[in-house]
């Protein structure tokens, strides 16, 4: 990452990818040749470019180039201060401006500031927004307390500026992956307290992105409104715990809180598989190995199989996204590991049903029997807006897999599980409706919100 995290630099530089002419002087025969190369990045202090010619450290060259959407030609002298060998006769060079006019320097500064995401990210943090959307030919949009708010800009970002802005955040490997796959997820450490999960994608041929704010913090179950029974589940030694709900329902936060609890209470080996890494954990009592899909390993399924050979006690799977990953998670849970995994489903019954439906129909009975053995609990989450839109509160459905639930899973009588949740208070179960109504009775949400989400919950079961 060009501007943040471990690779932080004193001056922000932005992706440019524009041609420039450079005068190369041969000191032996005292001749000067002019060659056209490509500036990859630029900052107000210098440029970064690639060449198949080799320059010595300290070499000074005259250069000419234009900034995008600007007819003015910038003349400067650069001095080579960094060399990186790429192989096959190609080199990357970092150069500082040793001579440049104040006017040209100011032009570069304004160009770089225009595509510097720092101000936008600081606004996200200040407003406590959950997300930032960068859109081509539109003003950026943030999500605050679940509501979308456009940011006022004199001029929206052009498609080329969006590319410059986003490519400035990526390293070469990430750029290669994105240009091949047209999709990319990565994490970005902005400062000690704030981290962002970034998703790059294309829409109608335009490059766009979504930034999710993740606050580094000590996790309080009470403050997050995570049901107290989740602590009991976290202290179990084996089995599968599913954390489900729609995108943006706080699943990653709950799993991070569970890891944090284990880390403070047990000496254990915890392996997390994430895409990307969101919350960064320091080893306290436990050893925590955080592996990022696409960086430390190629896939959830490959990483999960490898994890079984890493002496884990707890395995955290950021997403059960394919049959192979789900199957291996079941095996791990049956083999004596505690597996905490995220899955997309609106309620506990559909979570179990969808997991079974991932496999061929003829295997459904076998998979349900396997689930009845290894599944400990399903926690379904939903973030709903508080009164006056001042933040959001977590509502949860909790299914504890007791003997009655196991029997209904084995018999494929999943619809019966709904009544077990309703009558399962002695096992610390709760329905989503009960959780939502409790928030209303405590004055956290208003009557309109109660009515809307109670209807939504009812519709999920019909």
Same domain, yes or no, for 414 and 439? yes
What is the CATH number for 78? Answer: 2.40.10.220
- Residue 422, classed as helix, strand or coil, is helix
Looking at the structure, do residues 334 and 270 belong to the same domain, yes or no? yes
Pair 62, 23: CB distance under 8 Å: yes
Distance CA 240, CA 349 (A): 15
**φ/ψ (deg, to 5) at 145:** 55, 35
Report the pLDDT value the prediction gives residue 194, as an integer from 0 to 100.
87
Instruction: Render pLDDT for 340-396 as a digit per residue (tens, 0 to 9).
Output: 999 999 999 999 999 999 999 999 999 999 999 999 999 999 999 998 777 899 999
Nearest CA among 410, 423, 269, 238 for reference residue 335: 238
Residue 62: count other Cβ atoms within 10 Å of its Cβ.
16
Domain CATH for 439: 3.40.50.300
Report the pLDDT value the prediction gives residue 4, as an integer from 0 to 100.
37
> Tokens representing 217?
């913090």
Which of 87, 114, 141 is a domain's end point?
114
pLDDT value for 6: 37
The reported pTM is 0.75
Token pair, residue 403, equals 């003997």
Between CA 342 and CA 379 the distance in angstroms is 10
- Do 107 and 69 sit in the same domain of this protein? yes
Model pLDDT for residues 13-56, shown as the tens digit of each residue: 889 889 999 987 766 666 778 999 999 999 999 999 988 888 88
Instruction: Judge if 93 and 134 occupy the same domain.
Output: no
Residues 6+ apart with CB under 8 A from 195: 187, 188, 189, 213, 214, 215, 216, 278, 279, 280
381 with 275, same domain: the answer is yes
In CATH, what number is assigned to the domain containing residue 155? 3.30.450.90
Per-residue pLDDT, 90: 80
The pLDDT assigned to 461 comes to: 63
Spatial contact of 411 and 449, defined as CB atoms under 8 Å apart: no
Q: Are residues 316 and 195 in the same domain?
A: no
Give first-to-last CA distance, the chain, whole Å.
47
Compute mean pLDDT per 10 residues along the chain, 462 residues long, and list them. 39 85 75 87 92 88 90 93 81 93 93 87 92 93 91 88 91 90 89 88 93 77 92 97 93 94 96 90 95 88 92 96 93 96 95 96 96 98 88 95 98 96 96 96 93 79 62
**Pair (325, 183) in one structural domain:** no
Question: Is residue 168 domain-shared with residue 308, that is, in the same domain?
Answer: no
Give the per-residue pLDDT at 105.
93
Are residues 297 and 433 both part of a single domain?
yes
| Domain boundary residue, one of 181, 215, 249 | 215
Count of domains for the chain: 3
Per-residue pLDDT at 319: 92
Q: In sequence order, what are the residues at sequence separation of 6 or more whose Cβ sits closer than 8 angstroms to the Cβ of residue 251?
A: 243, 244, 245, 342, 381
Residue 386 and residue 354 share a domain: yes
Token pair in block for residue 81: 């201060």
How do strand 287-292 and strand 269-274 relate by DSSP bridges? parallel
β-strand pairing of 338-343 with 287-292: unpaired
Signed CA dihedral, 357, 294, 163, 148: sign only = positive
Query: Could you tell me if 167 and 226 lie in one domain?
Result: no
**Domain interval for residue 385:** 221-460
Containing 417, the helix (H) or strand (E) segment is helix 417-422
Place of tokens 């928030």: 439
Domain final position from 158, 189, 215? 215
8 A C-beta contact, residue 190 and residue 117: no
Same domain, 207 and 233: no
């Amino acid at each position: 990452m060009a501007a943040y995290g471990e690779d932080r630099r004193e001056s922000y530089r932005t992706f440019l990818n524009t041609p420039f002419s450079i005068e190369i002087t041969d000191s032996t025969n005292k001749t000067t040749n002019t060659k056209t190369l490509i500036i990859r990045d630029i900052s107000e202090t210098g440029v970064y470019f690639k060449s198949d010619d080799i320059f010595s450290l300290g070499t000074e060259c005259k250069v000419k180039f234009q900034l995008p959407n600007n007819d003015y030609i910038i003349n400067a002298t650069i001095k080579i201060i960094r060399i990186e060998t790429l192989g096959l006769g190609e080199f990357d060079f970092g150069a500082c401006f040793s001579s440049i006019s104040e006017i040209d320097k100011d032009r570069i500064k304004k160009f770089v500031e225009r595509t510097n995401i720092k101000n936008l990210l600081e606004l996200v943090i200040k407003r406590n927004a959950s997300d930032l959307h960068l859109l081509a030919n539109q003003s950026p949009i943030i999500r605050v307390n679940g509501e979308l708010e456009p940011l006022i800009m004199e001029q929206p970002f052009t498609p080329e500026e969006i590319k410059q802005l986003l490519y400035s955040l990526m390293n070469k490997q990430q750029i290669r992956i994105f240009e091949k796959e047209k999709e990319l997820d990565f994490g970005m450490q902005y400062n000690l307290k704030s981290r962002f999960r970034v998703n790059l994608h294309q829409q109608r041929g335009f490059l766009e992105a979504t930034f999710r704010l993740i606050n580094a913090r000590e996790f309080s179950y009470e403050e997050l409104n995570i049901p107290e029974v989740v602590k009991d589940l976290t202290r179990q030694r084996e089995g599968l715990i599913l954390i489900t709900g729609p995108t943006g329902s706080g699943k990653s936060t709950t799993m991070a809180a569970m890891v944090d609890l284990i880390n403070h209470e047990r000496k254990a080996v915890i392996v997390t598989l994430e895409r990307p890494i969101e919350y960064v954990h320091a080893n306290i009592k436990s050893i925590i190995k955080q592996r990022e899909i696409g960086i430390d390993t190629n896939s959830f399924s490959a990483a999960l199989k490898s994890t079984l050979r890493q002496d884990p006690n707890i395995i955290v799977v950021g997403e059960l996204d394919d049959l192979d990953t789900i199957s291996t998670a079941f095996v791990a849970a049956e083999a004596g590991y505690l597996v905490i995994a995220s899955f997309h489903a609106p309620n506990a019954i559909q979570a179990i049903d969808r997991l079974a439906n991932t496999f061929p129909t003829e295997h459904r009975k076998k998979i349900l029997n396997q689930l009845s053995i290894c599944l400990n609990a399903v926690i379904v989450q939903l973030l709903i807006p508080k009164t006056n839109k001042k933040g959001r509160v977590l509502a949860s459905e909790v299914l504890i897999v007791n003997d009655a639930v196991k029997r209904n899973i084995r018999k494929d009588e999943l619809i019966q599980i709904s009544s077990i949740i309703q009558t399962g208070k002695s096992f610390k179960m709760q329905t989503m409706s009960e959780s939502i109504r409790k928030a209303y009775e405590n004055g956290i949400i208003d009557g309109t919100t109660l009515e809307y989400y109670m209807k939504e919950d009812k519709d999920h079961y019909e």
